[in-house]
Chain A
Amino acid sequence: MNPSAVWTRTAASGTATVVLGLVVVWGFFQSLNDNFLSARNLSNLLLQIAVLGTLAVGMVIVLILGEIDLSIGAIAGVSAAVLAQLITGHGWPAWAAIASALLLGAAIGVLHGTIIAAVGIPSFIITLAGLLVWQGVQLWLVGDGGQIPIRDSAIRSIASSYLVPAFGWVLAVLVIAGFAGVRLLRRTRRVRNQLAVRTPAAEAATVAGVAVVVLAITWTLNSYFGIPWVFVLLLGLAAAGGVLMTGTNFGRHVYAIGGNREAARRAGIPVRRTVVLVFALISAIAALAGIIEASRQFSASNALGGGTLQLNAIAAAVIGGTSLFGGRGRVHQAVLGALVVGSVQNGLDLLGEPAAVKNIATGVILVVAVVLDALGRRRRAL
């Protein structure tokens, strides 16, 4: 086998590629600063990527559809502003404010999606306009103070609480058991349908591998404050997104539209409805990211969701192996992509590098990931 075939094969299994990237980044920063891989820093890293990872999960879904959303940062910002206004300005209970912020996000997505699907305007333009509009609304809602403080303890605890270590272990065991159970069920169904199955040893090895990783993460985090609550939230979101995209009609249709829109239409897939639903879904996810960020900052500022966050979310999705050309990508890889982007920023922070260097580094990584994506696409087309 020639080296390029090996490379192609590795690239095909996207998860392996991004894990390799993560190992390289971690090795690099650990060699420059041996605090990088400390439990304390890894725990901080997970808190730092919660918002980025959440946005990246949404970004992966819209990229698989073959569209893009440049407004998710702004939607996060405006949703956080609404959350803060309702709680601080109008005294709403936390749950009602959270539900309203999520619904607002979904409504914005329905609006974007409807314009894109009904009029056939590229999502790039509509969401770019959306970025301006919602940032404007955000500034207007936040007002002259530049931020609205949030004193509600429930909201504040979202991004600053940890699972008790004992509960962390229980959760880890449940995750492993769940993973093994799902694989076992799938295997049973394959056997029942007389389809090929992997050897029991290979299955056991996969489950054991996952178990080792889960236990190692739990042990590391438990040696600091415990598993951050937002990390559990992010993993839950990614798992739900994964099931939606690979296990349901809806997800299959999103992949089909991203792969060949005309073929999907001819096959009777409701293309417009699916487009609207995707934008609604990812805008609601963006609103969730806004709530998490407001919880981290204890306030909704007029800068929330701005800056490089939007581009970082695209970078995380693409680094995670999602194609900008539509039809290809996996939701769980968004979390890995966010870890890579977050690790670079965290590592540069640790080395005391200024924001300029962080921006340049993220930009370069995005370009490298996009170039690899384009090359992979060209190779598939041959």
Chain B
Amino acid sequence: MHAVTPTLELRDVTKRYGHVAAPTDVDFTVTAGEVVALVGDNGAGKSTLVKAIAGSHRIDGGEILIDGGPVVIGSPTEASALGIETVYQDLALCDNLDVTANLYLGRERRRSRSLLLDQEGMQAHAAAVIADLAAHLPVLDKPVSALSGGQRQAIAVSRAALWGSRIVLLDEPTAALGVAQTVMVYDLIHRLRDRGLAVVVISHNMADVFAVADRITVLRLGRNAGEFRPGRDSTDDVVAAITGSRELDAAVRKENPR
């Protein structure tokens, strides 16, 4: 087997909250140009895993590898330095700042040989990236408080593209969105993938998972519970892995239509 080296790989990763082991010995990979969905029931440990990769939590066991080399991700800044960008379940935008300022949050550009912000340069570059992603965003110099949920999510996703990040993690990016806005965000995710980024999406919505992902990793009670492919496996297979009922009878199928 001559696999490409995964852009991001987790080996036996464990994170404990006191005595509660959330993710336990979890293996996970994602490769450049691939969208992997991470699914599992509430409390399965998905968000915890994302926070570990994003540098918000230290892991208690196992290792994280980037391009095959082990790394220690101690803070969100270190994660960004490694090219990891995270879009959180609860949006991490500053309502009082405009679109451009949010895109550049924490990485503001300065004019050469000066302490002053390069406001115009940032705005122009942001406009170019957003046009390139064909994201539907209105004027870039309005506070984001005036935007819709989908537009706000689009900003959060575009931020990843703007930074030339290599790994993008999205924790339930469409949880609060309507149908059209969900499609818009998934379009954006596909565009990131087509640019060669490695994308990880967490979702509870099986229809969306099958629409957006190339591969599906299931977590159950903090442990790996199977790998699936949308073309090969059915929704029922994935739901069975999530709920832990491998022999799926008709009754369960009815209770979990997705």
Question: How near does chain B come to A331, taking the closest CB pair, in angstroms?
Answer: 15
Question: How near does chain B come to A154, taking the closest CB pair, in angstroms?
Answer: 31
B86 beta carbon closer than 8 Å to chain A:
yes
Q: What chain A residues lie within 8 Å of B115 (beta carbons)?
A: 248-249
A252 touches B77 (CB 8 A): no
Name the residue among A248, A260, A262, A265 with the largest chain B CB count within 10 angstroms.
A260
* A328: contacting residue among B76, B88, B96, CB under 8 A: B96
A21 beta carbon closer than 8 Å to chain B:
no
Q: Mark A238-277, 1 if CB is under 8 A from B, else 0.
A: 0000010001110011011011101111111100000000
A195 touches B124 (CB 8 A): yes
B117 touches A256 (CB 8 A): no
Q: Which of A75-83, A185-193, A205-213 contacts B (4 or more CB under 8 A)?
A: A185-193
Measured CB to CB, the nearest residue on chain A to B115 is A248
A263 touches B93 (CB 8 A): yes
Q: Known: A193-B123, A249-B108, A252-B117. Is A267-B76 also a contact (CB below 8 A)?
A: yes
Task: Please tell me the number of chain B residues within 8 Å of chain A, measured between CB atoms.
Answer: 31
Q: Known: A249-B110, A268-B76. Is A195-B123 also a contact (CB below 8 A)?
A: yes
B212 beta carbon closer than 8 Å to chain A:
no
Bound complex: CA of A267 vs CA of B92, how far in Å? 8
B19 beta carbon closer than 8 Å to chain A:
no
A199 beta carbon closer than 8 Å to chain B:
no
Q: What chain A residues lie within 8 Å of B97 (beta carbons)?
A: 252, 255-256, 259, 327
A4 beta carbon closer than 8 Å to chain B:
no
Q: What chain A residues lie within 8 Å of B92 (beta carbons)?
A: 260, 262-263, 266-267
* A193: contacting residue among B107, B108, B124, CB under 8 A: B124
Q: What chain A residues lie within 8 Å of B208 (beta carbons)?
A: none
A327 touches B95 (CB 8 A): yes
A189 touches B96 (CB 8 A): no
* A247: contacting residue among B94, B105, B117, B127, CB under 8 A: B117
A264 touches B94 (CB 8 A): yes
Question: How near does chain A come to B36, taking the closest CB pair, in angstroms?
Answer: 22
Q: Known: A248-B115, A269-B106. Is A255-B96 also a contact (CB below 8 A)?
A: yes
Q: Mark B95-126, 1 if CB is under 8 A from A, else 0.
A: 11100010001111010000111011101100
A380 beta carbon closer than 8 Å to chain B:
yes
A258 touches B105 (CB 8 A): no
Q: What chain A residues lie within 8 Å of B235 (beta carbons)?
A: none
Question: How near does chain A come to B109, taking the closest CB pair, in angstroms?
Answer: 9
Question: How near does chain B come to A270, taking the closest CB pair, in angstroms?
Answer: 9
Q: What chain B residues lie within 8 Å of A153 (beta carbons)?
A: none
Measured CB to CB, the nearest residue on chain B to A187 is B120
Q: What chain A residues lie within 8 Å of B145 (beta carbons)?
A: 380
A194 beta carbon closer than 8 Å to chain B:
yes
Bound complex: CA of A330 vs CA of B95, how far in Å? 16
Q: Mark B44-85, 1 if CB is under 8 A from A, else 0.
A: 000000000010100000000000000000011100100000
B116 touches A266 (CB 8 A): no
Q: Mark A265-292, 1 if CB is under 8 A from B, else 0.
A: 1111100000000000000000000000
Q: Mark B183-208, 1 if CB is under 8 A from A, else 0.
A: 00000000000000000000000000
Q: Known: A252-B101, A268-B76. Is A260-B124 also a contact (CB below 8 A)?
A: no
Question: How near does chain B come to A55, taking the closest CB pair, in angstroms?
Answer: 23
Bound complex: CA of A263 vs CA of B56, how far in Å? 12
Question: How near does chain B come to A315, taking the closest CB pair, in angstroms?
Answer: 22
Q: What chain A residues lie within 8 Å of B110 (beta carbons)?
A: 249
Q: Known: A192-B120, A248-B115. Is A265-B94 also a contact (CB below 8 A)?
A: no
Question: How near does chain A come to B140, taking the closest CB pair, in angstroms?
Answer: 9
Measured CB to CB, the nearest residue on chain B to A380 is B145
Question: How near does chain B come to A273, taking the closest CB pair, in angstroms?
Answer: 12
A-B residue pairs in contact (CB < 8 Å), sample of 10: A195-B127, A259-B95, A259-B97, A260-B95, A263-B105, A265-B76, A268-B75, A268-B80, A327-B97, A380-B145
